[in-house]
Chain A
Amino acid sequence: MAEKVTRRPYVREVPRTRWFFRHPRYLRYMAREVTCLFIGAYTLLMVVGLHRLAQGRASWEAFLEMLRSPWSIAFHGLALGFSLYHTITWFNLTPKALPVQIGEGFLPDAVIAGAHYAVWALLSLILLKLAGAY
């Protein structure tokens, strides 16, 4: 004798705006994502700088003066921290996207990421030297 089957699946809602507080890995993900705010703000600062540069010497000197304000220094500190976090997370994830097979093995993730770090360090040092930073 067949019995009537009552199915009433229960759907658990995901909190739309606070789901990432549920676990440290989601917080790390969001931290990585919000690096875009600081990199974006810094790039917009560059655009403003170009505007001042195009307006002439006095305008550019005023821009450099504005950079020396405490807010600017604080912003630069944050921008440096967040842009470094972007760099680190990006390089650490690159080996996942670009596996290199050699025979029956794969190039270790650390080698691929390590090569990125090495090139980044070298390029940064060269850029800073050419810029007269040291």
Chain B
Amino acid sequence: MSERLVELEVLRYNPETDSKPHFQRYSVPCREEWVILDALNQIKETIDATLSYRWSCHMAVCGSCGMMINGEPKLACKSFVRNYDGVIRVEPLAHFPIERDLVTVIDDFMGKLARVRPYLIPREAKTVEQGEYRQTPEELKRYKQYTLCINCMLCYAACPEYGLIPKFIGPAAISMAHRYNLDSRDGGRELRQEEIAASEGVWECSFAGACSEVCPEHVDPAAALQQVKIASTIDWFKEHLMPWLKK
């Protein structure tokens, strides 16, 4: 198993001692099959124990290790060292405040996720005795891809509009709302529209499509957002031009 020395340039920030972030260079002996996360763990274990970063599953399902690698939002556990030449620049995920080193403040996203009610609001509530909510494979397929989101926030780092307009609810949150809106068991679309059809909801999206390009799970949030725009537009015109259609 071959090893090579890889140069990592990592953005450091200690809120207790630093006035602003600064890069620190590390020379890390890496195995051929390693990912960036392995290199970071190697740094923490053998070179610099003060380096802080989030990680958990090491297999691209938990969404913890999102960071900027050579300026691109990536999961550190899914970025292979062998795919990079020269010095690898590692920075915290863009468009989020830096807590410390590679750890970002994610409160904004967590708040937005809660606002869109990302849970089933049953169309007709059933007690346990009444049995299960039944769904055909076709009904499941309709929303399946939007269930794959691991809340890694790479899409927020890529989205130019979120970078310019911090109050934009953002790709992942709106895709989660869309996932439930498309679910045949759900009846909560009207409630969610109050959040996602607002001006800081889907209407800040300009369909740049960067979110879908960086999504590690192929959720395609850009598609979800355009579908929400069309549905919201049809709603609006129905409501304003045909008010007698009120349910």
Contact = CB atoms under 8 A, between A and B. Distances in A.
Contact of A99 (B21, B212, B227): B227
Nearest to B98: A10
B223 A99 contact: yes
B42 to A, nearest CB: 26
Interface stretch (B12-20, B113-121, B239-247): B12-20
B99 A7 contact: yes
Which residue of B20, B94, B207 has the most chain A CB atoms within 10 A of its CB atom? B207
Given A9-B97, A96-B223, A103-B138, A25 B210 contact: yes
Interface residues of A, number: 26
Contact of B208 (A16, A29, A104, A105): A29
B213 interface: yes
Nearest to B95: A14
Contacts of A29: 160, 208-210
Using C-beta atoms within 8 Å of the partner chain, give the interface range for chain B. Answer: 20 to 34
Contact of B97 (A11, A14, A23): A11
A101 interface: yes
Interface string B203-232: 000111110110000001011001101100
B226 A97 contact: yes
Contacts of A129: none
Interface string B72-106: 10000000000000000000001101110000010
A8 B98 CA distance: 9
B98 A101 contact: no
A97 B223 contact: yes
Contacts of A14: 95, 163-164
B98 A9 contact: yes
Given A7-B15, A7-B99, A10-B98, A93 B210 contact: no
B15 A8 contact: yes
Given A97-B227, A104-B138, A25 B213 contact: yes
B164 A19 contact: yes
B137 interface: yes
25 contacts: A9-B98, A10-B13, A10-B20, A10-B98, A12-B21, A12-B97, A12-B98, A14-B164, A16-B164, A25-B208, A25-B210, A26-B208, A26-B210, A29-B208, A29-B209, A29-B210, A33-B206, A93-B209, A93-B226, A96-B226, A96-B227, A97-B226, A99-B223, A104-B138, A104-B141
Given A29-B160, A29-B210, A98-B227, 14 more contacts: A8-B15, A9-B99, A12-B98, A14-B163, A22-B71, A23-B72, A93-B207, A93-B226, A96-B222, A96-B226, A99-B227, A101-B138, A101-B142, A104-B141
